[in-house]
A and B are shown apart, each in its own frame.
Chain A
Amino acid sequence: MRILLAEDDELLGSGLKAGLAQHGFQVDWVRDGVAAERELLTGAYQAAVLDLGLPRQDGLDSLKAVRARQIGTPVLVLTARDAIPSRVAGLDAGADDYLVKPVDLLELAARLRALVRRAHGQPQARLEAGGITLDPAARQVWLNGEPVELSGREYDLLHVFMLNAGRVLTRDQLEQHLYKWGNEVSSNAIEVHVYHLRRKLRPEVVETVRGVGYLLPREARP
């Protein structure tokens, strides 16, 4: 899951990036409010962790600007501002969650998963579609109750399909969701991962929409 981290403190930023990576997040890290706004406006992120006291532009202003442009990316505000008025202002500016520093890594990861899940209209913690069950917290996948071993990339790709079950995703969109900056994406990377998913789960788990992209149907075909 690709998320944006906006934090100007080097030590905390590197910790958050490494810690979230341990929990399966692909983290892009920006250090000021202007960059945070610019990156959020791309809409390429599943969620964002936003500090408020950022250089160049306050995180709150970045958030307001992004929401004004109808970008619905879930945003978790992580800040040292603990006063109630600050929390209210943060949530009213469009934040989906508000955490005060210091924060526990496990809790932060869980909240990010919950934000992503809710943003895709999924009420349960486990995602289910077409006989496949995916547990984002445990990063585990079952097919008709049987556990399936997937590589990290394959899991990430399946997660994106499950979150967007019943919707067609283009190859660009998939790449955006999967790869953080600086990763070399070979032209057929998505095809290779889809191939492996079909092999490990079942051939018709992901359907190809010729010339457009891929689709994971909500219900498995009989």
Chain B
Amino acid sequence: MTLRAGGPMRSLQARLLLTVLGLVAVVWLVAVVATWYDTRHELSELLDAHLAQTASLLATQASDELEDSALARAPTLHKYQPRVAFQVWHEGRLMVRSAEAPDEPLSGRRSAGLADGEVGGHFWRVFTTQGREADVLIHVAELQSARRDILWASLRSVIWPSLLALPLLALGIWWAVRDAVRPLRELGQGVAARRPQAFDPLPTQGVAPEVLPLVVALNGLFERMAVQLASERRFTADAAHELRTPIAAIRMQAQVAQGATSDAERTDALAATLQGCDRATRLVEQLLQLARLEAEVGGDAAADSGLEGETDLADKARRLLAELAPLARTRRQSLTLEAPDAVPVAMSAPLAAVLLRNLVDNALRYSPDGARVKVRLTAAHGVTLTVEDSGPGLPAEALDRLGERFFRVLGTGQPGSGLGWSIVRRVSRLYGLSVAVGRSEVLGGLRVQVRWPEAPV
């Protein structure tokens, strides 16, 4: 088992990196935009105030100096002065302007206030005011580009550090995440390096709290797998052991047939060989049934298709008894069924058959010749299946051990592996059936009663 790092899901590291960097970039952009608007607003207010101030200053002065009718040009006193300009108009005539100011009006506005406009290929921000006399119009202007330069200059100091910081931040996050997921990587390597048979738990000491649940879960899984593997090994060993005797019998009888000196001896030995084959077949069938049941119990296949279904138990029982009746007759055993026409139960048909067959087969097999076996189905308060026989019954200590795999009641004189009971137990557990074994009051032998839980109405 390996922890998958790739696949359709991006690595944790990449995801964290992208998320954090993306968030930082968004926050940073928002900050830049906010700064832009804020700065521009404050800058505009300040500079507009300066324009207004200058305009009002000019307005107070202009009235005194307008008698000079020639166009006056104010000298340039500072290298940044070209960015600002002013004009004083009197009755539509340009009376005074700064050196950089164009000759046409900076603004078409005739009343006091602010305006933006393009004059002489430049974009200006213009404040217009009237002098003390209404015929005097004063424009004070500033290049828009100058304002933008200031804005940019102030923003640059915000943007540059951020742009430089982003790659550094990425590197830092990459390293930090890499360091943070190292326990996971090491855990993955540790699990990958395991031999499939190794089920010793992973160490839980010194494991990061975030990784601990995973380690604990893995240890739990290892433990369950170890138990399952041990159970499978035991099952295989038991099965091999149980098959040895029938196979030994088949081989021995075949060799007896080979070395037989009379026809009668050969016929007997061959008949016994076939009998041995039948027995081995039955044993193998039971082993397979049990293995299948164990697989279903072991896996979480309870919801899988194999177990679902509805079966008419009465119909199954009739078919089974019809099948077993000839065999019972050879031993002069009477086999009877008492059942309503239909007894539906929520159970898969093959497993219902397995349950019925093992119960009835056991009753016939371990009852003497001439015995009576009674199968009864009732559906009054929940479905009940009762199998009774007139055989010898079982001592109390044997009752306790029934259902242990390969446990056999000794001295029955019948070949068997004790698997039938294990199978009955398994099926019952799968469907939550209760199995009661006791003495039959009617027939005197063994009585087995299987109860289905009452269906919720």
What is A's interface to B at a CB cutoff of 8 Å?
Answer: 8-12, 14-16, 18-19, 22-23, 32, 55-56, 78, 80-82, 100-106
Complex CA gap A43/B277 in Å reads: 36
B410 close to A55 (CB less than 8 A): yes
User: Which B residues are CB-close (under 8 A) to A14?
Assistant: 253, 272
B215 to chain A, nearest CB (A): 36
Chain A contacts for B292, CB-based, 8 A: none
Q: A80-B245, A82-B240 are in contact. List 18 more A-B contacts (CB 8 A).
A: A9-B249, A10-B415, A11-B249, A11-B279, A18-B253, A18-B269, A19-B259, A32-B410, A55-B411, A56-B411, A78-B248, A80-B248, A102-B247, A102-B250, A103-B248, A104-B251, A105-B251, A105-B259
Any A CB within 8 A of the CB of B63: no
Measured CB to CB, the residues of B under 8 A from A are 240-242, 244-253, 255-256, 259-261, 265, 268-269, 272, 275-276, 279, 410-411, 413, 415
Main secondary structure of the interface of B (DSSP, over half): helix
Can you list 30 A-B contacts with CB-CB less than 8 angstroms, sorted by A residue number? A10-B415, A11-B246, A11-B275, A11-B276, A11-B279, A12-B252, A14-B253, A15-B252, A15-B256, A15-B272, A16-B252, A18-B265, A18-B269, A19-B255, A19-B256, A19-B259, A22-B256, A22-B259, A55-B410, A55-B411, A78-B248, A80-B245, A81-B241, A100-B244, A101-B244, A102-B248, A102-B251, A105-B251, A105-B259, A106-B255
- Please measure, in the bound complex, the distance between the C-alpha atom of A10 and the C-alpha atom of B272, giving whole angstroms: 10
Contacts of B247 in A (CB 8 A): 101-102
> How many Å from the CB of B145 to the closest CB on chain A?
98
CA distance A101 to B344 in the complex (A): 46
Q: B245, A15: Cβ atoms under 8 Å?
A: no
- A138-B413 Cα distance, complex, nearest whole Å: 37
A105 to B415, CA, bound (A): 22
Closest to A21 in B: B256
Complex interface: chain B residues within 8 A of A100 (CB): 244
- Docked Cα-Cα span, A106 to B268, in Å, equals 20
Residue of B whose beta carbon sits closest to that of A19: B256
> B250 to chain A: which residues have CB within 8 Å?
102
Of listed A11, A14, A78, residue having the most chain B CB within 10 A: A11
Given the complex, which residues of A lie within 8 Å of B269, measured CB to CB?
15, 18
A31 CB, nearest partner CB in chain B, Å: 9
Q: How far is the CA of A16 from the CA of B415 in the complex (A)?
A: 17
Across the two chains, which residue of chain A brings its CB closest to B237? Answer: A83
Q: Which residues of B contact A102 (CB under 8 A)?
A: 244, 247-248, 250-252
Contact status B260-A22, CB under 8 Å: yes
CA distance A203 to B253 in the complex (A): 42
Q: Interface centre among B240, B250, B259, by most A CB within 10 Å?
A: B259
B234 to chain A, nearest CB (A): 12
Q: Is A9 touching B252 in the complex (CB atoms < 8 A)?
A: no
B88 to chain A, nearest CB (A): 120
